[in-house]
Structure formats: C-alpha cells, structure tokens
Amino acid sequence: MIKLEKVSKTFRTGSGEVHAVREVSLNIEQGEIFGIIGFSGAGKSTLVRCINLLERPTEGTVTVDGTELTKLDEKRLREVRRKIGMIFQHFNLLRSRTVYDNIAFPLKKSSLSKEEKHKKILSLLELVGLSDKKDAYPSQLSGGQKQRVAIARALANDPKVLLCDEATSALDPQTTKSILHLLKQVNEKLGITIVIITHEMAVVKDICDRVAIMELGRVVEEGATEDVFVHPKEKVTKDFISTAGNVDKIYELIDEGNDLTKLQEGEKMVMLTYSANNAGEPVISYLAEAFDVKANIIYGNIDILKGKTIGKLVVTLSGKPENMEKALAYIEERKVELEVIKA
C-alpha cells in the first residue's frame, strides 16, 4: 500500500545541511498498523510527512496505493492526498468552527450532495463517539475529544491511509488508550492502513502489527512488533524496550553490588523472556519438581503486546551443578529465551 524507496530529506538551513531522513526504504502492507518509533530528532515526523509529500523528499520515490506520488504535479497531488488522512499531536482543529463544521471542512470539494454530506458527518460523529458534541467548539472539548474530532475529519474523504504524527503524545495514559482503541476500530471496521509515529513504546505495544525503529534519519531495525520486542538487535531498540519495563534495571543493580544481586556459591542469576507461545507455562515450578533446582524470583514484568503476553523474569537458580545444567537445557528446550546474567 505504501512503498518508500531510498527516501532522503535534507533541509538546508543557515547553519548548514540537516539530513533529517536518510535512504529509508519501507513497504507498508494494505490493512496493517505500522509503527515508526524513535527518540526526538530521529526523523520520524519528516519521514511521515514524506509519505503524503507535505515534505517533498530530496531523493527517492514514494508510492501510495499504486500511484507514485513523487512524480505528480501539485494539482494531481492535492487530489491523491485526499485519500491520505492525517492527524497531529496538537489536533490542528479550526477553533472558530463547531465540531460539525470541522468535520465538514474537508468535504467542501467532495462530489457528495448536501444531504449525503450531512449523513456522512453524523455517521463519523457516531463512529468517534461524539454525536452529542456536534455543536460544541474545540475549546469546550478535552484533549481526547479534540483528537476524536480530528480523526473524524481525517476520515471524511474515505481515505485508504491514515497517518498519525504523535497523535497521543499530548494525552494522558487513559485517554491514549481510548484513542488507540478507536484507531484499532477504524483499522478493523474500515480497513484503513494506519501509520503511527511515536516515541512511546506503549503505543507500539498496544496496536502496531509491525514497527520500524529510527535513529539519526535511518531505519535501523524493522519487523513484527512481537519479534522486535522479544529479540531486539540494535541498542536503540533495547533502550526503547527498557523504557517500557523495569527488568533491565537488574544490570544497574549488579554494577552497584546491590544486596539483591548477591549470589551464594553455585547459584546463577538468569533473565528469562517468555514469548507469546510459551508465556505462562509453569517452567519455574517444573524446575523444582523435575530437577530439584530452586528458582527465586527477584523481579519480573509481564507485558501485553497486542493482546499476547510477553514476560520477563529475573531469577536466581540454585541446585547441584549437574541438575542446574539439566534445568538450563530444559528452559531452552521450552523456547524460553535464557540469559545468564551473573554466575
């Protein structure tokens, strides 16, 4: 649905060139929710604005739904852009217009009759749960409600793609959840392909099918959310994952010589990562039963990733050396990721 080939964007500023996006190639499939995550300044906003050519790439091609946008003149581009909705961190609503009129705004050039437009606006209001706010002004709405209006407005022209530029960054966690839930509904009910850019791992974990991680203008890692989460390759990806849980703190505690991390002779401290297909298996209790190896849980974290559980546990294992070996082999056999972090 969206194909970026070697897209680069360089800004020329008074103090020199800024390479905001460097040779990014991505294929985003029809109907998926694709996340682009990175720290501030990584180039996410610039990249997402290259998808609808709000920023024209310096190099590379952008193809959306079979049309190469980078080839089009401005007039044709404006037409095609109507099929690409966009929402922003600060909502960008027209302050002097009511909710109804904000949603009506992009329909100005539509070929629908007055009656059809009216029906369309009412159904969009219903979809985003704001039927009772149609005559309110943006200043009378909460942040979450404003973003709902922005979503309804972005959907007015029946787009095939919805681009979300830090759409939940100005919202509290509870409201973020409700907006993500609405985006998921939009994706499932209307079959719209969604691209979400964010610096929040929680957003990716909740709804993205696939994710790309950006650093210094480049995509450094990409894959199914679950794979990237369970087997991160790049440091920046690991940093993001550790912002989403507290398990990686164990390395700091070991460095500090914290009492929690002191081991007796023969003990091992291990980090276990359970992925969706084996999460919840009673691996730990089986160790005691089958191998007489005791597992003392130091701490852990369970994540829900698109409805599937991913668990991380830091445990110390104690038992006879030969039994320990068998226990470790058993853990690996169960496809639980195992890392001995101190022995």
Ligand X SMILES: Nc1ncnc2c1ncn2[C@@H]1O[C@H](COP(=O)(O)OP(=O)(O)OP(=O)(O)O)[C@@H](O)[C@H]1O
Interaction site with ligand X (CB under 6 A): 11, 13, 18, 20, 38, 40-46, 199
66: left (phi over 0), alpha (psi -120 to 50) or beta: left
CB of residue 111 to ligand X, shortest distance in Å: 35
Burial zone of 279 (CB within 10 Å; 0-12 exposed, 13-18 middle, 19+ buried): middle
Residue keyed to tokens 């209307």: 190
In whole angstroms, what is the distance from residue 307 CA to residue 257 CA?
37
Whole-number minimum distance, CB 134 to ligand X, in Å? Answer: 32
CB of 38 to ligand X, least distance (A): 5
Residue whose CB is less far from ligand X, 199 or 334: 199
- Distances, alpha carbon 230 to alpha carbons 88, 236, 242, 255, 338, in Å: 30, 14, 12, 24, 11
Q: How far is the CB of 169 from ligand X (least distance, A)?
A: 8
The closest of 327, 329, 335 to 277, measured between CA atoms, is 335
In terms of CB distance, is 44 or 120 closer to ligand X?
Answer: 44
- Beta-strand relationship, 268-274 and 308-318: antiparallel
Work out how close the CB of 48 gets to ligand X at its nearest, in angstroms, rounded to a whole number.
8
CB of 23 to ligand X, least distance (A): 15
CB of 42 to ligand X, least distance (A): 4
CB of 273 to ligand X, least distance (A): 28
If the CB atoms of residues 38 and 159 are measured against ligand X, the closer one turns out to be 38
Residue 278 near residue 330, CB atoms below 8 Å: no
How are strands ordered across the β-sheet holding 33-38?
A: 84-88, 161-165, 193-198, 33-38, 210-215, 218-224
- DSSP secondary structure of 45-100: HHHHHHHTTSS--SEEEEEETTEEGGG--HHHHHHHHTTEEEEETT----TTS-HH
Residue 12 vs 108, nearer CB to ligand X: 12
Give CA–CA dist 338/322, Å, rounded. 18
Q: Which is nearer to ligand X, 163 or 313 (CB)?
A: 163
What is residue 298's three-state secondary structure?
Answer: strand
Q: Which is nearer to ligand X, 176 or 316 (CB)?
A: 176
Q: Measuring CA to CA, how many Å separate 126 from each of 164, 171, 207?
A: 21, 21, 22
- Closest to ligand X by CB, 23 vs 292, is 23
Q: Which is nearer to ligand X, 31 or 41 (CB)?
A: 41
